[in-house]
Structure 1
Amino acid sequence: MNTREQIHALSDEMLENLGKLVEIDSQLGTPSEGKPFGDGPSKALEVGLKIADDLGFKTVNLDNYCGYAEMGEGKEIVGIAGHLDIVPVGGDWSYDPFQLTRDGDCVYGRGTTDDKGPVIEALYAMKLLRESGVELNKRVRLIMGCNEETGSKCMEHYNQVEEELSCGFTPDANFPCIHGEKGHLTMMAYSKKTKIISMNGGFVSNAVCDTCTTVVPSEIGLKEKLEQALSESKLQEYKATDENGQITIYAKGVPAHASTPNFGVNAAGVTMECLAKVGFEDDFVKFYNQHIGTACDGEGVGLKISDEFGELTFCNGIVKTADGVISCSIDIRVPVTFKKDDILKLVDGKLEDENGRIEITEIGEALFYPRESPLVNALYKAYVDVTGDTENEPMVIGGGTYAKSLKNIIAFGPEKLGVDYRIHGADEYILVSEMEEAVEIYMEAIKNLLAI
């Protein structure tokens, strides 16, 4: 059998093992002794390492922060870093998010593409490469992390207790190859004065707020005006009810990852636009529409910027009300050539007025490798050699990966450009045909990295 036939023969086995991981709800839980990220991530790591152990790899658990499967000998390490934690389920699923469900070439379940499926792909690439008899002049180590979605504390721990990687990749982004990741800027917006009784929506800060429920005082004719405005919006669903002197507005938009917010529809943002459109006078409605809005470009805070590698993106993920104050999380991806000081100068004087305020909570620098670097060339060559695709070039993305936490690695696959795998939304899926292809690409990538 040729390589692709060997991979296809293992397809059912790969899916069976992927199913063992998908059935675990491995979103961030309550920390306990020996389980820094809660029960779910620890269980996923236990199962992931058991799968690797059954396949004949040396396995190590690093205090339930992360673990790894390893093969080969030598001082240098080719590293592959994937994660087993997931974002909350959210949204309206057609399938059980914790049960692997196949429909033709599609396999549904939370984590199938982000990132449990790619972990399985990399593991089987290692298995087949080992069985091929290729000389393993370096160690090849698949690291399984448990906290990528909520801070990457797992990789902080790895860096404290383990050796530095010589080169490698994280299978947690797009093909053909990622040579840069935008900087990450987070903010929180707060109301000062508002007539809004409550406003709550969104489920994670790094995805577009796709559902939102807002309660405002009733006014004569307001419900009818709102229904008209909502009907003219891009919302998928909406409902306005007027009871006991209060109008409750339910809005359902479209989910999207914070790195590509233009693919989504912000339910909170549309609600604010509609309130202003119908003449609902309110300080925070005005502040939100001026500083946050639905444009996703950061213009309202002075950050409508771009460079040769991409534009800044701006995402409102969570809206909530506590003690009469409305807060909004803001996730921003900053073009790679802009530094922290550049951002601070641009937003100076634009984050507060009499109607509301915005606080910067974190600024993370960008990651960038020159296109001609050996690491980028090695991975890109593997992709081209397997797929024959020479039209798509290495690129810069807005998403953040383990490449910012571990030295000498970049993001590499497995998502194809232009395909929405719904990684942070309902009905996340993976294509079996692409899973098999990714295994072959990762085999070639490891061989190329062994030769660097």
Structure 2
Amino acid sequence: MDIKEQIHGLSEEMIENLGKLVAIDSQLAEAKEGKPFGEGPAEALRVGLEIAEGLGFRTVNLDNYCGYAEMGEGDEIVGIAGHLDVVPTGGDWTYDPFTLTRDGDYVYGRGTTDDKGPVIEALYAMKLLRDSGVKLNKRVRLIMGCNEETGSKCMEHYNEVEEELSCGFTPDASYPCIHGEKGHMEMMAYSKHTKILSMNGGFVSNAVCDSCTTVIPAKDGLKDRLEKVLAETDLQEYKVSQEGDRTTIFAKGVPAHASTPTLGVNAAAVTCQSLAEAGFEDDFVTFYNSHLGTACDGAGVGLKFADEYGDLTFCNGIVKTEDGVISCTIDIRVPVTLKADRVRSMCQGHLEDENGRIEILEIGDPLFFPRESPLVEALYKAYVDVTGDSEHQPMVIGGGTYAKSLKNIIAFGPEKLGVDYRIHGADEYILVSGMEESVLIYMEAIKNLLAI
């Protein structure tokens, strides 16, 4: 039996084990004693380690921050870092997000691609490699984290209590290989004066605000003008209703990850743009349109910039109203050649006027490995050898992964370019055929890393 047949023979078992993980709502929750990220992430880690033990691996739980499954001997460690936590469900799901649902080659559920499915893929790649008798001159360690989506404090803990990795990858991005990740910048925008009674939308800061409900004072003719303007937008759905002295606008856009906001439609941005076009004069609407807007390029705060590895991207994720003040989260992915000091200087003078203000909360450093580095070459070769695809080249992305938290690793798979797996959106899925191919790719990758 050749290796592809062996992998295919394990396909149902992989899906069954993935189903055990998907069934657990492992969103960040209230911390409890011994469970720093809440019940769900701790339970997902317990089950993940239990699956690994059942496959014959040594396992360690690192205080429910993260854990790992390991094989092999030696001082050096080839690391694979995946995560078991998930983002909120959000959106309108066709399927129960916490029940694995198969439809032909498609398997639906929250975390199937981001990142529970890839954890299973890597685990079975290790199993098949071990069972094949390949000499393991280094330890191979699959780390299962519990806090990637909301801060990666799990990897901070790993770095405090465990050994440094010699080399490795995180299966939490795209093929063929990621040799750079843009810097991550967070801002908050605030209204100073507004006639808007309430504006609330979005569910996470690292995804486009895909739905928004706004309440404004009613005004003669405004409802009709809004409906006319909204009909010309890219919204999936909208509704304008009036009751008494209030007009309510519901806008449904298109979800997208904050690293690729141009793929989505920001419901809050379209609402503000439409309010202005309909003649609703408001200080915050003016501020939003001039500083945030719909363009996703940061031009409104002086940050429009691109280098040979990609553009700066700008994403408003959450909008909410508290005590009469509207706030907006802003997630920015900064090109790898742009340093923090330069970013601050570019923003200077663009963050506040009489209508609103923006605060810089954080600017994180980018990650970059030269294209010719042994780590990049080893992983890229594994991809090409399995798929035959040499057209696509290693690339830089806007997303942030564990590669920024752990030394000597980069992101590698599992997504194919041009395919929307709906991560962070409704009906997230993984392809069974893609899982099988990734197992083989990860087997080759581990072998190449053992040889470095």
Shorter chain as denominator, the TM-score bin is over 0.9
TM-score (norm 1): 1.00
How far does the alpha carbon of each residue in 1:84-130 deviate from its partner, in whole angstroms, 9 at most, with x for none? 00000000000000000000100000000000000000000000000
1:32-47 correspondence runs (5 A): 32-47=32-47
Counterpart position of 2:182: 182
Give secondary structure in 2 for the equivalent of 1:120: helix
How far does the alpha carbon of each residue in 1:248-294 deviate from its partner, in whole angstroms, 9 at most, with x for none? 00000000000000000000000000000011110000000000001
How far does the alpha carbon of each residue in 1:333-372 deviate from its partner, in whole angstroms, 9 at most, with x for none? 0000000001001000100000000000110010000000
Counterpart position of 1:21: 21
Counterpart position of 1:322: 322
1:213-362 correspondence runs (5 A): 213-362=213-362
Give secondary structure in 1 for the equivalent of 2:433: helix
Counterpart position of 1:50: 50
Between the aligned partners of 1:210 and 1:451, the Cα distance in structure 2 is 46
Give secondary structure in 2 for the equivalent of 1:158: helix
Give secondary structure in 2 for the equivalent of 1:143: strand
TM-score (norm 2): 1.00
Between the aligned partners of 2:394 and 2:31, the Cα distance in structure 1 is 38
Between the aligned partners of 2:48 and 2:294, the Cα distance in structure 1 is 40
Counterpart position of 2:369: 369
CA shift, 1:201, in A, is 0.1
Which segments of 5 or more consecutive residues in structure 2 lack a partner in the other structure?
none
Between the aligned partners of 1:124 and 1:344, the Cα distance in structure 2 is 45
Counterpart position of 1:101: 101
Counterpart position of 1:4: 4
Counterpart position of 1:197: 197
> How many residue pairs were aligned?
452
- The letter of the residue matching 2:359 is E
- The letter of the residue matching 2:319 is V
Between the aligned partners of 2:34 and 2:188, the Cα distance in structure 1 is 32
Question: Which contiguous aligned blocks of 4+ residues in structure 1 show a shift greater than 3 angstroms?
Answer: none
- The letter of the residue matching 1:349 is G
Between the aligned partners of 2:151 and 2:391, the Cα distance in structure 1 is 34
CA shift, 1:244, in A, is 1.6
Between the aligned partners of 2:19 and 2:106, the Cα distance in structure 1 is 13
- The letter of the residue matching 1:350 is H
Counterpart position of 1:422: 422
Counterpart position of 2:164: 164
Between the aligned partners of 1:39 and 1:361, the Cα distance in structure 2 is 29
Give secondary structure in 2 for the equivalent of 1:205: coil
Between the aligned partners of 2:52 and 2:148, the Cα distance in structure 1 is 20
- The letter of the residue matching 1:279 is G
Between the aligned partners of 2:441 and 2:301, the Cα distance in structure 1 is 42
Give secondary structure in 1 for the equivalent of 2:268: helix
1:76-115 correspondence runs (5 A): 76-115=76-115
How far does the alpha carbon of each residue in 1:373-398 deviate from its partner, in whole angstroms, 9 at most, with x for none? 00000000000000000000000000
CA shift, 1:73, in A, is 0.1
Between the aligned partners of 1:346 and 1:406, the Cα distance in structure 2 is 30
Counterpart position of 1:135: 135
Between the aligned partners of 1:112 and 1:118, the Cα distance in structure 2 is 8
Between the aligned partners of 2:181 and 2:198, the Cα distance in structure 1 is 36
